[in-house]
């Protein structure tokens, strides 16, 4: 025992550590017998370091011997040395059983190898295996979490979906606009249905005519607001007009009523422009105010009115500006200091939105006052229709018009009536729209005067007596448009056969045409049967003559020289072919 202690004292520290440790690996557990504590700890570190750097590699199965073999690098020598030291008696402490850092099932559960497979440890392979395991983990994660839907369906996400959203927004916007215009009668879907299936027929009176009441209020919006606040007369109707339409003949006639026309109202003043206000004082009863005005106009004119449309000042300004201005020719001079409107009669004048509004309001400095204003308003509407008919409107312009109408128009029209009316107007010649005057030469049905100190307009037959006016309106609307135009036709003989011009004159008179005169055409070559020339804008007669002769008319630039056309609206030249009958 003493000798052993002496020998231990002569050994170096490393030798003591090497000789005092002994380890054994069996059945998945590591047993270490220790002598010197330092050597034991060092042996443990060496074993742990070596096993951490190990990599498990699959070995081919050996059916004969199903045992697991552990091959290590740098560990076997240490285990052998520890065994020898124990045999020599250098290790004196009791043995301990140390549980390894990895459980017995590590190879099977983590590395996926069977118990009978050979395992070989190598640090480089272990690092590579860890990298591979991370790559597999990322790959599995990417499979689990696929790309977002928008990236897997790019066409659907970036093309179809945005277009669908835009269409939905446009539909909602259009639907709200249409509901405003029609007072909730029709939405955008109703308009689309009407366009696809075709519009229904407009309502008509007993004479087959459709009558529309158009009236305007003073404000720049439906609430009556202006630049300096709410206008005092915001709910007073400054313009009152009836448009009568025959869908078959496309005859359109317009008649206006003066705003100062005396009638019973809710006020002591008692003027027709107060009726809308009486039923819609706070602006919350659009239908009631419109209905009250419509019923009173029906009683005065003896007409059944099917529809109404309410506009304000801003609608006129915006519409005229949107179409780039209008051109009008007045029948009398206007010098109105109140509206700053100064226009000479007989000369075409171009107007922007504000100027058109000034003309629509002008009644001072005119010959007939309120009647002149009514006639100007009719001319403005005709000029707007004429300008729009010459424009090639695109989507932006149409959207702008819809916006204007949505903000400034209220009516009892629905999708079918608006579509049907637009169809009729689209095929109507502007020049065929006629005005039915209630004042002027031979048409003085109204007069003006003071009653109890207030200026009024009232029928010549007496206050409240509209019988003669009703007969005049009925006659004007029911009379043949050709007769109303009273166009003069000049008939000339170019066939070389004597007497044919007089013969044709008699035929035209039998067909209710008005023949001015007959004569011979200037020398020339007239090989066609009939030549028809239109010198004025009397569209009803023009259409009738084209149908009568089954030819298209020529304008005045094609008329042969040397013809005196004084007083004539149309010229008919009979050519060589006329003798064929």
Give 141-155 as a 3 state SS string. Answer: HHHHCCCCHHHHCHH
> Which tokens in the block code for residue 525?
């070559």
Spatial contact of 256 and 374, defined as CB atoms under 8 Å apart: yes
CA distances 489 to 296, 394, 515, 569, Å, are: 42, 41, 5, 6
Q: Categorize the per-residue pLDDT at 153 as very low, low, confident or very high, splitting at 50, 70 and 90.
A: low
Residue 7 has pLDDT above 60, yes or no: no
Q: Partners of 335 in the beta sheet?
A: 342
pLDDT in tens, 527-560: 888 999 999 888 888 988 998 899 999 998 999 9
Domains of the chain: 2-144 (no CATH), 174-473 (3.40.630.190), 482-580 (3.30.70.2390)
Residue 530's region, left for phi above 0, alpha for psi from -120 to 50, else beta, is beta
Q: What is the mean pLDDT of residues 493-500?
A: 89
The pLDDT of residue 367: 80
Phi, psi of 216 (to 5 degrees): -125, 145
Residue 69 has pLDDT above 50, yes or no: no
**Distance (Å, whole) CA 482 – CA 509:** 12
The pLDDT of residue 57: 45
> Which tokens in the block code for residue 287?
């239908």
Residue 25 has pLDDT above 50, yes or no: no
**Distance (Å, whole) CA 162 – CA 406:** 26
Query: Which of 96-105, 198-207, 369-378, 562-571 ranks highest by mean pLDDT?
Result: 562-571
Which one is predicted more confidently, 104 or 444? 444
Query: Which of 224-228, 270-274, 373-377 ranks highest by mean pLDDT?
Result: 270-274
Phi, psi of 25 (to 5 degrees): -115, 115
Q: What is the mean pLDDT of residues 124-142?
A: 76
pLDDT in tens, 425-479: 776 666 667 888 887 656 789 999 999 999 999 999 999 999 999 999 988 887 6
Q: Categorize the per-residue pLDDT at 36 as very low, low, confident or very high, splitting at 50, 70 and 90.
A: low
Q: Which residues contact 73 (CB under 8 A, 6 or more apart)?
A: 50, 121, 122
Q: What is the mean pLDDT of residues 359-368?
A: 84
Query: Which of 71-75, 239-243, 246-250, 418-422 ranks highest by mean pLDDT?
Result: 239-243
Q: Categorize the per-residue pLDDT at 220 as very low, low, confident or very high, splitting at 50, 70 and 90.
A: low
Phi, psi of 128 (to 5 degrees): -65, -40
Q: Categorize the per-residue pLDDT at 75 as very low, low, confident or very high, splitting at 50, 70 and 90.
A: very low
The pLDDT of residue 145: 55
Residue 401 has pLDDT above 60, yes or no: yes
| pLDDT over 70 percentage in the chain | 67
From the centroid of its chain, how far is CA 6? 108
Judge if pTM exceeds 0.95.
no
Phi, psi of 244 (to 5 degrees): -110, 130
Q: Which residues contact 322 (CB under 8 A, 6 or more apart)?
A: 397, 400, 401, 404
**Distance (Å, whole) CA 195 – CA 180:** 19
Q: Categorize the per-residue pLDDT at 339 as very low, low, confident or very high, splitting at 50, 70 and 90.
A: confident
The pLDDT of residue 143: 56
Q: Categorize the per-residue pLDDT at 300 as very low, low, confident or very high, splitting at 50, 70 and 90.
A: very high
Phi, psi of 291 (to 5 degrees): -65, -40
């Amino acid at each position: 025992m003493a000798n052993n202690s002496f020998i231990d004292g002569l050994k170096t520290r490393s030798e003591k550590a090497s000789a005092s440790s002994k380890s054994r690996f069996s059945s998945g557990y590591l047993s270490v017998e220790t002598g010197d504590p330092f050597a034991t700890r060092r042996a443990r570190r060496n074993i742990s370091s070596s096993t951490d750097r190990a990599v498990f590699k699959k070995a081919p199965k050996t059916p004969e011997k199903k045992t697991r073999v552990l091959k290590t690098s740098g560990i076997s020598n240490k285990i052998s040395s520890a065994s020898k030291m124990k045999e020599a008696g250098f290790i004196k402490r009791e043995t301990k059983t140390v549980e390894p850092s990895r459980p017995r099932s590590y190879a099977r559960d983590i590395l996926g190898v069977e118990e009978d497979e050979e395992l070989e440890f190598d640090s480089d392979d272990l690092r590579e295996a860890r990298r591979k395991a991370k790559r597999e983990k990322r790959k599995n994660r990417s499979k689990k979490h696929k790309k977002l839907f928008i990236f897997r369906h790019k066409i659907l996400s970036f093309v179809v979906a945005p277009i669908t959203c835009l269409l939905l927004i446009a539909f909602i916007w259009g639907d709200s606009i249409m509901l405003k215009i029609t007072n909730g009668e029709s939405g955008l879907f109703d308009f689309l249905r009407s366009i696809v299936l075709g519009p229904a027929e407009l309502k008509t009176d007993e004479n087959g005519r459709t009558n529309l009441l158009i009236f305007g209020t003073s404000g720049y919006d439906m609430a009556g607001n202006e630049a300096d606040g709410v206008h005092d007369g915001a709910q007073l109707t400054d313009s009152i007009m009836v448009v009568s339409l025959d869908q078959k003949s496309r005859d359109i006639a317009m008649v206006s009523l003066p705003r100062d026309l005396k009638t019973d109202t809710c006020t002591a003043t008692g003027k027709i422009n107060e009726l809308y206000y009486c039923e819609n004082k706070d602006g919350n009863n659009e239908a009631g105010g419109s209905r009250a005005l419509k019923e009173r106009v029906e009683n005065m004119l003896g007409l059944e009115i099917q529809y109404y449309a309410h506009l304000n000042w801003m609608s006129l300004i915006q519409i005229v500006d949107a179409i780039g201005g209008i051109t009008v020719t007045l029948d009398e001079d206007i010098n109105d200091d109140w509206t700053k409107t100064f226009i000479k009669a007989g000369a075409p004048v171009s107007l922007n939105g504000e100027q058109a509004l000034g003309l629509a309001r002008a009644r001072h400095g005119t010959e007939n006052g309120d009647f002149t204003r009514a006639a100007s308003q009719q001319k403005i509407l005709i000029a707007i229709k004429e300008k729009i008919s010459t424009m090639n409107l695109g989507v932006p312009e149409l959207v702008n018009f819809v916006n204007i109408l949505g903000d400034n128009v209220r009516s009892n029209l629905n999708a079918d009536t608006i579509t049907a009316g637009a169809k009729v107007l689209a095929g109507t010649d502007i020049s065929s729209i006629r005005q039915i005057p209630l004042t002027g030469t031979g048409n003085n049905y109204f007069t003006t005067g003071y009653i109890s100190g207030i200026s009024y307009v009232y029928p010549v037959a007496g206050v409240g007596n509209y019988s003669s006016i009703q007969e005049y309106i009925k006659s004007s609307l029911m009379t043949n448009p050709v007769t109303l135009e009273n166009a003069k036709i000049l008939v000339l003989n170019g066939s070389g056969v004597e007497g044919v011009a007089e013969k044709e004159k008699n035929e035209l008179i039998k067909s209710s045409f008005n023949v001015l005169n007959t004569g011979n055409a200037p020398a020339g070559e007239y090989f066609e049967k009939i030549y028809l020339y239109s010198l004025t804008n009397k569209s009803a007669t023009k259409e009738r003559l084209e149908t009568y002769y089954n030819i298209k008319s020529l304008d005045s630039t094609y008329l042969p020289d040397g013809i005196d056309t004084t007083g004539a609206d149309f010229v008919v030249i009979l050519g060589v072919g006329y003798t064929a009958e």
